[in-house]
Amino acid sequence: MHLEQRLYETFGYRTFRLGQKEIIEDVLAKNDVLAMLPTGGGKSVCYQLPGYVLSGSVLIVSPLVSLMEDQVQQLKMRGEKRVIALNSFLPDEMKKRALANLQHFRFIYASPEILQSPLWQKALKQIAISLFVVDEAHCISQWGHDFRPDFLKLGAIRRELGNPPCLALTATATKDVRNDIIETLQLTNVRQHLYSVDRPNIAIQVECVDSVDEKLARVLHYAKTLQGPGMIYASSRQWTEVLARKLEAEGIEGVAYYHGGMDSEQRMLVQHQFLCDQLQLVCCTNAFGMGVNKENVRYVVHFHLPSQLEAYVQEIGRAGRDGKNSLAILLYTHGDEDMVQSLIEAELPTEEQVRLFMAYGNDVRSMVEINEVQWRLLHYMVEKERTKARTVEEIIANIQAAIEARKHWKRSKLRQMRSFLFQPFCLREQIVSYFEQRLEKKPAHCCNRCTFSLDSYQFKRQDEPVRAFRGWEEELKRMFWNEEYT
Amino acid sequence: MLSYLLLYCLHRFNGERSLAAVYHLLTGKKSAQTLQDSKWFQLERVFGIYKTLSLGELEQAAMQLLQNQWIVSVDERSYVLTEAGKEALHEWLLSATFFTHLNGLLYDTVDRLFWYRLSLTVQTLSNLVHRHQFIPIHRHEATFAWVRTYLMAKNPHALAQALHDELHTICSSLSEEEATIFTLRLTSFERIGWTNEQIAACLQTDPLYVQLTFQHVLHYMMKRAEREPKQFPILHNVIKDLVKSVSLTLSAQKTYEWLIKGKTIAEIARIRHLKPNTIEDHVVEIAANVRDFSIAPFVAEEARRKIIEAATRLKTRQLKKIRDAVGEEISYFEIRLVLAKAGESSAS
Ligand SMILES: [Zn+2]
């Protein structure tokens, strides 16, 4: 069967998007493949379609449980029943059934942590894995923008599973990071498919203003004039709340905030409301976005500058997944980098945490406040040093040095991000050259260093009337009652 | 709103517990100490009702109460209410309608599972009836499985009608505001459920008030569903396998099983490779939670009487004060055990 025909029958698309077919052909030929596709470029088709051609199961490793669940949900919506997500929240009953029938599943999603479990390893070893997929593969590299130490062990796990062909996928990996991926996963004769990170339908604007108040005024202006739905990224939880309240107070409807400190159900409600266009605007931290598969986001505003260009490219990439014209606007005011700098440093373990961890191990969590990122890094560094250094003092000194090196590296990443704002060159060209690529063609609406200006980019906000709430009795009746069937 | 909730807890604790204890109580820490505290001081209803609370927020609320001169410090991070504080609390309690059915300890985590099932059932039926595709509002495998099994081979239209009627009956027995909050939290074919914040904005009230009122409605609904299977067959089905009789920490549960088999504290400590102190903690936790657990094998009747008498006379639950009053021949373990049991019986 032709691949196109298979694509149409399974996914309902007539044609492949850029790069998909070439990647799939290499995967089906059982080559190791490293693929870099632009954000929203249809990465999942690259392993889901082979899942219907190859015999055996496709194992997909993904960094975030929520990301995994989204993918599983989408597959199920398409009628695929033979899919499962392995994570530590799986109820016992299902776990038992899954362990017994693992070969039954066409797609097995797993977190790297669960792959450490001997129980699951044993079960996976006994079935035929036709393809080993690593999603968001930049998480492998210590120098990737979202380093997950657990990803480092994937090379060994792949070997354990009898070295099935591997497909590593990412949207944002510089050359160094790509080399790290190849080395860690031990890819041999790797076929690299590197497509441009550029998203031509997203116009890019950077604005430097005099004060925070002016930034707020700009945000308000955009919320009033731009066609939604939109997203506003801020660096801290507190700022997302401040922004949402401010916009609401100014009469903007359909605004909510989203951050990692919220109750999980409330967070889900906001995400679903946004997906269903019940909300026009979400003020969020970078906790929002991964796995949110919303096609019609028309603009992304950055109220603070991201800590590095990779993160920026990921975040603006949530706009315009439907291919229609969209906007990315970054607002900067003097001193923003200091705030970002202190947030970055708060993600590194402190000397006190290192000392306490060496003395008390995991109990340290009930002694001092320690966030998730600090915890991951601390674990990774101590584990790594313990195999080399001899005395505790030596380990502590080495870790201190490693933390300093990381701080240094993060600072230089932030400097690059900042210089992106101030270089007098085309913003799009700067992004592309950061990933050692070249821009083939500039779109008509490029960036505010080129010919593009917001005025020529006509947007008009049309607010749809919000359905009024007519009391609980009426609401309950509407829920369960369909007049067509009575 | 948070400051009133804090005021309420501080009033019950009466200076005998610190701010940290309030924090553990409201966030529902499953430690023997916190579980006992909630019983001794009759604070079961607020156990675990504010799980996302941060210590910082609580400290800020305490600062505000100090500034209002509604509380004064008696010890490091322990406070008692001033006359003005007591008056403010009294005033507030008159409006705190959500305390009527709120029972955080009894329904801890079960209310969440109940709500997951109920709201996913509502969402599914509403979409089936209106022939809509939808994305499940919760991501909870056990809930998916339950809803799938429950809806299997049932007529969605008839079930939707019946569930509508059950919810209508419940809502009709609530205030207009309570029924509105509950309904707005539901997700249907045309509307994703509103967040507490959105409901609060609509009703011009506090999000925490909405959250607590919502929980109070859930607890009320669960109680009725549990007791009236004929009146609420669907809701009864949602809840029947969720309610468990006792809530013990896992480790205490194991100790309890050994106790039932007739082992002594020392034996259990040996078997489980734990310190006798730890096993004693478990016994206290069991006494506080298991109604028909007798403490007679651990405390002589004479000692029990003395402890109760001292606690009543001194109006205290502080171990040190009671120990000073009853004398050294009675151990702290015995005092804790008696207080735990006393708290259990006065609470039920
Ligand atoms: Zn340009």
What B50-56 contacts at long range (C-beta under 8 Å, 24+ apart), as own/partner pairs, is B50/B2, B50/B5, B50/B26, B50/B208, B50/B211, B51/A263, B51/B27, B52/A261, B52/A262, B52/A263, B53/B2, B53/B23, B53/B26, B53/B27, B54/A261, B55/B20, B55/B23
| Pairwise CA distance, residues A336 & A151, whole Å | 32
Domain encompassing residue A75: 3-194
DSSP character string of A218-232:
HHHHHHHHS-S-EEE
Residues A213 and A322 in one domain: yes
| Pairwise CA distance, residues B336 & B318, whole Å | 10
Residues A29 and A132 in one domain: yes
User: What's residue A458's pLDDT?
Assistant: 58
Residues A241 and A264 in one domain: yes
Residues A318 and A443 in one domain: yes
Partner residue opposite B135 with nearest CB, options A66, A272, A478: A272
Interval A225-251: pLDDT, tens: 898 899 999 999 999 999 999 999 999
Indicate the pairing of strand A255-258 with strand A129-134: unpaired
CA of A308 to the centre of ligand 1 (A): 19
Asked whether residue A294 is assigned to any structural domain, the reply reads yes
Give the chain B residue whose CA is nearest to the CA of A481: B129
Give the chain B residue whose CA is nearest to the CA of A73: B135
Asked whether residue A485 is assigned to any structural domain, the reply reads no
CB contact under 8 A, A77 and B135: yes
Residues A140 and A273 in one domain: no
Interval A144-203: pLDDT, tens: 777 888 888 899 999 999 999 999 999 999 999 999 999 999 999 899 999 999 999 999
CB contact under 8 A, A478 and B188: yes
Mean pLDDT of B124-133: 93
Task: Residue window 128-147, chain B: list those with CB within 8 Å of chain A.
Answer: 129-131, 133, 135-139, 141-142, 145
Q: Report the residue of B123, B126, B139, B167 to disrupt the A interface, i.e. the one with the largest count of A CBs within 10 Å.
A: B139
Residues A61 and A169 in one domain: yes
As for the ipTM of the complex, it is: 0.84
Interval A326-362: pLDDT, tens: 999 999 999 999 999 998 888 888 888 888 888 888 7
Q: How confident is the model at residue A113 (pLDDT cuts 50, 70, 90)?
A: confident
Going B120 to B123 to B129 to B131, the CA torsion angle's sign is negative
CA of A218 to the centre of ligand 1 (A): 22
Give the chain A residue whose CA is nearest to the CA of B188: A479
User: What's residue A388's pLDDT?
Assistant: 79
Mean pLDDT of A265-294: 90
Residues A101 and A147 in one domain: yes
Which 3 state secondary structure label does DSSP give A166?
A: strand
Asked whether residue A173 is assigned to any structural domain, the reply reads yes
> Is it the case that residue B348 has pLDDT exceeding 50?
no
Residues A289 and A184 in one domain: no
| Pairwise CA distance, residues A284 & A99, whole Å | 38
Asked whether residue A176 is assigned to any structural domain, the reply reads yes
Asked whether residue A237 is assigned to any structural domain, the reply reads yes
User: What's residue A462's pLDDT?
Assistant: 63
Smallest CA–CA separation between B274 and chain A, in Å? 18
Tally the residues of chain A: 486
Domain final residue pick, A194, A220, A239: A194
Please state which architecture CATH assigns to domain B1-95: Orthogonal Bundle (1.10)
User: What's residue A457's pLDDT?
Assistant: 60
Domain final residue pick, A384, A399, A415: A415
Provide the number of structural domains found in chain A: 3
pTM (whole model) above 0.90: no
Residues A433 and A359 in one domain: no
Interval B180-234: pLDDT, tens: 999 999 999 999 999 999 999 999 999 999 999 999 999 999 999 988 999 999 9
User: What's residue A64's pLDDT?
Assistant: 81
Asked whether residue A445 is assigned to any structural domain, the reply reads yes
Which 3 state secondary structure label does DSSP give A12?
A: coil
Where are chain B's structural domains?
1-95, 109-240, 250-346
Asked whether residue A486 is assigned to any structural domain, the reply reads no
| Pairwise CA distance, residues A67 & A292, whole Å | 8
Kindly list the residues of chain A whose beta carbon comes within 8 Å of any beta carbon in chain B: 66, 69, 73, 77, 89-91, 93-94, 248, 256, 261-263, 265-266, 268-270, 272-273, 275-276, 278, 467, 469, 471-473, 475-482, 485
> Is it the case that residue A373 has pLDDT exceeding 90?
no
Partner residue opposite A472 with nearest CB, options B136, B183, B193: B183
Q: CATH no. for residue A181?
A: 3.40.50.300
